[in-house]
Amino acid sequence: MDGNGRWAQLRGLPRLEGHRAGAESVRDITRAARELGVEALTLFAFSSQNWARPADEVAGLMELLREFIIEERAEILDNQIRLEGLGDTERLPPHVKGPLDELRSASAGNRGMVLTLALSYGGRESIASAVRACARDVAAGVVKPDDIDVERFERYLPTAGLPPVDLLIRTSGEQRISNFMLWELAYAELVFVDVLWPEFRRAHLQGCLETFGGRERRFGLTSAQLADRSDV
């Protein structure tokens, strides 16, 4: 979700107004994704690096997060959405972590769509933390170094419980990954849209899904191999 600051700047508004407008897109996209039958929606709301932004912007973002979690609680539960947090959520202030943890447990049994908020999240940070956990198991003799392969390692990642990433959408025209799900994006389709996040709504999401539908995902195979497979 990128472009809140630029959206505000274009209108001569403070950056926080961009984040406020962006929160409306979050509501709209969450609703749309649920209705379109998306299995898992992960929103990169706040990175490990975003803590270094000006203190008043960080505080404002935290307040908006708290409002989102509290105001959307009923709709999340009514629509069978399971809310998850991804990242170093221990760093979140108690007025955000409290409602987040409460809604995580209240929605834990829901099976409609998993909505994951990546908060205080970094892809490198999460790989480093998985390496630490894996190294601890090696030190404890639970895992042998030679047994560590892709499947085994990724069980240590905080995304282990989520389905594989099919599609990454980045708004605002920037064409960067910016430390998001570095491992998990290995075979994801990347779509970069030239729309600022506060303007990104349901119709844009549908457009991205159509683009995704038009891509041939080969996972290292040839087109001919894929065609043979679909005949089976």
Q: List active site positions.
A: 2, 50
| Number of residues in contact with ligand IPE under rule CB under 6 A | 11
Per DSSP, the three-state class of 178 is coil
Q: Is 4 in the site for ligand IPE (CB under 6 A)?
A: yes
Q: Is 85 in the site for ligand IPE (CB under 6 A)?
A: no
Bridge-partner residues for 116, per DSSP? 42, 84
Residue nearest to Mg ion (CB): 2
Per DSSP, the three-state class of 168 is strand
Q: Which is nearer to ligand IPE, 121 or 156 (CB)?
A: 121
Distance CA 68, CA 79 (A): 16
C-beta of 53: minimal distance to ligand IPE in Å?
8
Indicate the DSSP class of residue 190. Answer: E
C-beta of 186: minimal distance to ligand IPE in Å?
24
Binds 85: which of Mg ion, ligand IPE, none (CB < 5-8 Å by kind): none
What one-character-per-residue DSSP string does 77-135 give? HHTTEEEEEES-GGGS-HHHHHHHHHHHHHTTT--SEEEEEEEEE-HHHHHHHHHHHHH
Q: Is 179 in the site for ligand IPE (CB under 6 A)?
A: no
**Largest CA-CA distance found in the chain, in angstroms, rounded:** 59
Q: Is 125 in the site for Mg ion (CB under 5 A)?
A: no
Binds 4: which of Mg ion, ligand IPE, none (CB < 5-8 Å by kind): ligand IPE
Q: Which residues bind ligand IPE (CB under 6 A)?
A: 1-6, 46, 50, 61, 172, 197
Q: Which residues bind Mg ion (CB under 5 A)?
A: 2
